[in-house]
Amino acid sequence: MSDIDRLLRDGTPMAGHALYQALHANAIPAELLDTAGSYWVLVLYLDTGEVWISDTESHTTKPIADHPGWIANFYQEDDEEREHPIPIYEPSGLPYAADTEACVRAVRDWLADHPKD
């Protein structure tokens, strides 16, 4: 069972679940990270830094009905305080499913242009 599946114990459809599944289906092994007491984000660890993906309020665990839009940023390895994000994806007002697909596509395309090594 994945970490994100453990967060689904109450049966509430969680916005981040489909994002997590779509990222992994595209060979993007993002991991859950609790940033501050139930503020779960998805993080992809790279040799040069980290890609952080969450909604615009730094969550992935909100119900789908409350989803405000995904955001994905790259933080260079030396940006330990995450003060200088490099935007990968910003919310565009799309419905949830389309926003999720667009976010995954943007991360996948960014990774193709910025290899892990």
Q: Please write the tens of the pLDDT for every residue from 14-38.
A: 888 889 999 999 999 998 887 776 6
Give pLDDT, residue 115: 66
Q: How does the average pLDDT of the chain come out, rounded?
A: 84
Give pLDDT, residue 59: 80
Give pLDDT, residue 9: 57
Sole residue written with tokens 């970490």: 3
What is the rounded average pLDDT of the residues 95-111?
96
What is the rounded average pLDDT of the residues 62-74?
91
Give pLDDT, residue 15: 87
Please state the pTM of the whole predicted model: 0.85
11 vs 30 pLDDT, higher one: 30
CA distance 49 to 2: 23
44-48, 103-107, 108-112: segment of lowest average pLDDT: 44-48
CB–CB of 84/76 below 8 Å? yes
Residue 32's DSSP bridge partners are: 42
pLDDT reading at 1 higher than 50: yes
